[in-house]
A and B are shown apart, each in its own frame.
Chain A
Amino acid sequence: MTGSSRTLCWNCQSAVGGEYFCPQCVKVQPASVWSDYFSVFGLPRKLGLDLGELQQRFYEWSRKFHPDFFQRATPEEQAISLENSALVNTAYRALRDPIARVEYLIGLEEGAVKGIPPRAPRDLLEEMLEMQEALEEAKTSALDAETRKRLEGERERLAERRKAEEARLMEVAGEWDALVGASDHASRERDAVRRKLLDGMKEILAVRAYLTTVINDLSEALGEETHTHVSHRRH
């Protein structure tokens, strides 16, 4: 794939041009030569991708590398199979969810950033302050029917808003793909657009993270089961 063609097989030292298995001795090769999660699956670094195709490759790659198939191999091969499988699994997890995919891409473009801090959308600031008060109250006393209804309504509206933000994110993602797919020569103008799109996506992610936190707080106040940590969506 995209590994350097000068890479040598760890076992027989013959050249392996980014192959998964050495052409000479057929030993499995470490996947760490792959530069990013997109290249793990042989995909271009783009935000729009065919989920069916991704899943198919994930299954294919799992069949190549899973430790189940290296149970009787040498310890070296077992270690490589384990690391390769772990990488394939992590890459699939990051790419299969469109939101996680954007977060990963921003990390790639800007160097590792760990999570984007949540930020309240400006137009909702006042409303959010009021709701925080209601939430504080809910913590100390039982909810009456009216408050409950209000909080439920609020949660529904915020969920709608989150959906709208996600749709907007996908639009910007489309613009990004169009930009990187177009002519390759760098220009000051192109850099500015690139910058703008990245900032735009970060902004939406920050708002989305904020909305998610508030929605979870509301669910908790309403006494519903939630996992407090990371929630992750599947397609």
Chain B
Amino acid sequence: MSRIVGIDLGTTNSLVAYMEGEFPRVIPDAEGHVLLPSVVAFTADGILVGEAAKRQLVRNPTQTIYSVKRFMGKGYEDVKEERRYFPFQILADHEVVRIRVDEREVTPPEVSALILKALKERAATSLGEPVTKAVITVPAYFNDSQRQATKDAGRIAGLDVQRIVNEPTAASLAYGLHRLKQGIVAVYDLGGGTFDISILRVKDGIFEVLATNGNTHLGGDDFDRALVDWLLADIRAHHGAHLGQDLEAMQELRLGAEAAKCRLSFEDRTVFTIPFPQHGFTYRREIQRSDVEALIEPLVQHTLGPCRLALADAGLGAEQIDEVVLVGGSTRVPLVKRRVQELFGKPPHSQLNPDEVVALGAAVQADILAGGITNMLLLDVTPLSLGIETLGGVMSVLIPRNTTIPTSAKELFTTSVDGQTVVDMHVLQGERELAKDNRSLARFELRGIDPMPAGMPRIEVTFLIDANGILQVHAKELRTGKAASIEVRPSYGLTDGEVEQMIEESFVHAEEDIASRLLIETRNEADTVVRATERALGQGSGLIAEDEATRIQEALAALKAVSDGDDREAIREATERLNHATLHLAEVLMDSALKAALASKRVTEALEKTE
């Protein structure tokens, strides 16, 4: 039995974990990093994933794809509103989202597959054995198309996806191993791009989900956007600059905003400094935590409605929740913690690292499937009602939301015209009355019906939602007992044929030239040093002698001259020389930062930081 790993495929970061003895453990990369940034860069010399790709965000904004999870299982119509926030090109001439990368087009599952592949390789290196099987987590509120897209991504990455598990429930499994008492638990999971609330009953090793709700388009990314929009307006007011069209500047702002948001979770105020040499100014601004809280308050409020609906569906009042668990990096934001505590009337738990707990839980579920853990069982639910379109464009519900999975429903179909041999079905997911207001999952065509008078054929169709939350459809002609053939046209997904083709192509491109990868990494390193130097000069040029500044400028120019070339050794040497030239400047800047901190009231805090 080969090992099954647990993978948290996140909007911002992804992780892989496995079961070591009794407890799950996340697997770090060679440098000891546990989080793999969910970023993929398509460069002239090859594909980069993770930290190396993240460094391309500013340098190469149109070819560097991030937050691709927001596009999984989506159509162009779904995302056209937020297209403006992304520097890469989302194509309008397809139903399913496609992203332009140089001369080719890629789909979100293909991009996700590259992230999965990197995690797969990381796990294989660390464990010293090939890894082919995985449990992958998805937001609990993901619909069928989004789950299917995730499963497709796994297949393209060469993984046998043993199970798709919901993130909040996975987290509850990880907590369950450690310290969860029996009782009713609410898991509030706010990640980079998605929000879930799940309410569970934990009893005798059974984790029964009573209700779930959420928003698959709400997370830390949206906090960052709110802050970026505010910064853009502020920059316009103070510098008269319109940075909205400058892709590189926008990425700098986005990354800066994200970092400032994170700092403000632990400090009351922070200074935001970004040089924009191409626009001739450096933007500097002090931001208070309360400023950001005012910006994100409406977004945090958006998470509370789903919490109330989940409580109502579980038939429980907030006071009946015994424990509240926080999951996802965005729950580090103090305002989020406050609002959750107010809603449930008790302080939430966050003992396990909110970035890691989902991957740990996925590893626990993997161990259950492998036959390791036998006393724990997760009973999850389908988050959305499933139905079919009936006469008059109304949705007729076959499986209501929050039904424990696996579950099935049967429906009888017949013909309406004499001699009809094909019957159409339109399958939907959602809570609205009218078919058009719900999510279209697929159109099914029942074929090969024997020609008969209208209404005579009796075709029983079984809709089964499996333990992954993914729909399977079977049909049978009742008079003959013959299985009817069904053709599926997914509304927002890839056909089996397309996935097969992607698997083949990914093998063709699998072996990348190691030399070109090394060159790219060296260039990235150079790029990082160039940017750091420009920033340092912007902040500290007044603090050093003129000839020192000149020397730095010269070393900087020398590196820039070679950094786009193919001579890796020359780039490396020039980078080292620049590094050396800026040593003193870095010290001076550290000193002045320390003095500034000492000057402020939080002396002890600053001292702790310098230890």
Which A residues are in CB contact (< 8 Å) with B370?
71-72
B378 within 8 A of A: yes
Say yes or no: is B481 at the interface (Cβ < 8 Å to chain A): no
On whether the beta carbons of B431 and A71 are closer than 8 Å, the reply is no
CB distance from B164 to the nearest CB of A (A): 12
Interface membership of chain A positions 67-94, coded 1 if the CB is closer than 8 angstroms to chain B and 0 otherwise:
1110110000000001101110110110
Contacts of A67 in B (CB 8 A): 406, 466-467
B-side interface mostly: mixed
CB proximity to B under 8 Å, residues A41-77? 59, 62-63, 66-69, 71-72
B516 contacts partner chain A, Cβ-Cβ < 8 Å: no
Is the C-beta of A230 less than 8 angstroms from some C-beta in chain B? yes
**Interface membership of A185, Cβ < 8 A:** no
A231 to B315, CA, bound (A): 10
Residue of A69, A87, A230 touching B400 (CB-CB under 8 A)? A230
Is A232 in the interface zone, CB < 8 Å from B?
yes
Asked if B368 is at the interface of the complex by the 8 Å CB criterion, the answer is yes
A188 interfacial contact with B, CB 8 Å:
no
A230 to B378, CA, bound (A): 25
Q: What is the CA–CA distance of A83 and B433 in the complex, to the nearest angstrom? A: 29
A66 to B374, CA, bound (A): 12
Interface assignment of A235: CB less than 8 Å from any CB of chain B: yes
- Verify if B597 is at the interface (C-beta below 8 Å from A): no
Contacts of A127 in B (CB 8 A): none
Q: Once the chains bind, are B433 and A62 in contact (CB under 8 Å)?
A: no
The answer to whether B466 touches A234, judged by C-beta atoms less than 8 angstroms apart, is: no
A69 to chain B, nearest CB (A): 8
Q: Which residues of A sit under 8 angstroms from B400, Cβ to Cβ?
A: 229-230, 232
Interchain CB contact under 8 A, B204 and A59: yes
B315 contact set on A, CB distance < 8 A: 233-235
Which residues of chain A come closer than 8 Å to B312, judged between CB atoms?
A: 231
Flag if A68 contacts B432 (CB, 8 Å): no
**Are A234 and B377 neighbours in the complex by a CB distance under 8 Å?**
no
B369 CB–A CB distance under 8 Å: yes
> Given the known A-B contacts A71-B369, A234-B210, are A229 and B397 also in contact in the complex, defined by CB atoms under 8 Å?
yes
Tell me, in angstroms, the Cα distance from A62 to B374 when the chains sit together. Answer: 13
Enumerate chain A residues within 8 angstroms of B433, measured Cβ to Cβ.
228-229
- B402 to A, closest residue via Cβ: A232
A123: interface (CB < 8 Å): no
19 contacts between A and B (CB under 8 A): A66-B377, A67-B466, A72-B1, A72-B370, A82-B464, A89-B403, A89-B404, A89-B406, A90-B407, A90-B408, A225-B309, A227-B309, A227-B401, A227-B431, A229-B397, A229-B431, A229-B432, A229-B433, A232-B313
Chain B interfacial positions (CB closer than 8 Å to A): 1, 162-163, 203-204, 206, 208, 210, 305, 308-309, 312-316, 368-371, 374, 377-379, 385, 397, 400-408, 431-433, 464, 466-467
Which 8 residue pairs across A and B have the least CB separation, nearest first?
A: A234-B315, A89-B404, A86-B408, A71-B369, A86-B406, A230-B400, A67-B467, A85-B406
State the A residues within 8 Å of B (CB).
Answer: 59, 62-63, 66-69, 71-72, 82-83, 85-87, 89-90, 92-93, 225, 227-235
